[in-house]
Structures are given as C-alpha cells and as structure tokens.
Amino acid sequence: MGDTDDEPRSAAAFDPRTSPVPRRRVLLLMGAGALAAGGGLGVLLEACAGPPIPVKLDFDPASLPPETPTEVPFTLTTGGSTVQGSTWLVRQANGDIVAFDPRCTHALCSYAWSAEEREFLCHCHDGAFAIDGKVLHGPPPRALDRLPLRLEGDVIEVDVPSGFRTPRESL
C-alpha cells in the first residue's frame, strides 16, 4: 500500500507532524491563497487607508439628464498631495443619482462612456460595463465601484476613498 495523493487516510492514522502533506492539498492551498491575496488585497489596502474624504462636486444636479452618464472632475488633497480625479454621475430612471468610482475594477484604469455603444469602455484590457455598472465583458472581476453620495439641495457630495489615486490612462 503506497502513499499517494489519491489514497484515503483515516483521521486517526494521519499525524501532520510526521506525515507529509499531500501534493494536491499543497497546490490547492497555494492556489486559494493566491486568489484570496490577489482579489482581496486591494480591498484590504483601501480599507486600511483611513476614512473616506468628502468632496463637494462643482456640478448642478438639476442639469443631469436621465440615464446619460456625465463625468464630473474634482480635486482633493490627501496625504499632503493634490490628486485629480472624477466621478461618473448617472441619474437613474427613478430619479436617484449614482456616483461611480472612475477607476476600472480590473487594473484601475480610467474608462469612458460611449454613447454610441451605450456602455462604459475601458481600453486598457477591453473591459465594458453597463450603465448600472455591471460587467458586460472583459477581465474586470466585479461591477464598477460606487462612491457614497449625498445630495443636499443643489450640492452633491461624494465620499472618495482616502487612498484614491488618479486612474491610469486608458489607451
């Protein structure tokens, strides 16, 4: 009876201090660890960066047409440096306004709205998102991130992550 990866072992017979760990188990654990680190590292780093930074947008919400994404630029100061950014605002059919993070969820590249295609396009790796932020195709692992938004009268304020950086240019 040889010691192979496929051979079942009883719990009583297996002692992790003296028995080698099966190769398949090691590979499985390494793969799961790599996936967890790659997918969760950005979220973890952003969560550890500190509280979000409230930014008032220089934009009149009454001028936002329904279901037509509009990019609104902003400037913020974080960590002693000035950062240029933007958010994509969308007035939904029900009248609610949504603010999208301007960075693609795949490689933090900028993306743009294509009125012709009726989708957000990221040219870094040919990703595409629907008007509601859901992934249509390409490598993005999840929908566009939303920025928390407050509307008080005619003032829009969004919460930008404290670790925010200007998106990479989408070629």
Judged on CB neighbours under 10 Å (0-12, 13-18, 19+), 48 is exposed
What's the number of domains the chain is made of?
A: 2
CA distance 1 to 56: 71
Write the CA distances from 94 to 46, 66, 91, 104, 140, integer angstroms. 31, 9, 8, 25, 27
Write the CA distances from 56 to 111, 152, 161, 162, 171, integer angstroms. 22, 11, 14, 15, 29
Query: Across all residues in the chain, what is the average pLDDT?
Result: 82
> Is 166 contained in some domain?
no
Look up the domain containing 155 and give its range.
53-160
Q: What is the mean pLDDT of residues 112-128?
A: 95
Are 142 and 136 in contact by the 8 Å Cβ rule? The answer is no
In this structure, the answer to whether residues 38 and 112 fall within a common structural domain is no
Q: Is the pLDDT assigned to residue 17 strictly greater than 60?
A: yes
> Is 19 contained in some domain?
yes
In this structure, the answer to whether residues 112 and 142 fall within a common structural domain is yes
Which pTM does this prediction carry? Answer: 0.71
What does DSSP assign to residue 148?
Answer: P
Could you tell me the pLDDT band of residue 35, with boundaries at 50, 70 and 90? very low
Most confident by average pLDDT, 44-53, 58-67, 159-168: 58-67
> Is 107 contained in some domain?
yes
Q: Is the pLDDT assigned to residue 114 strictly greater than 90?
A: yes
Model pLDDT, residue 43: 47
Residue 163 vs residue 47, higher pLDDT: 163
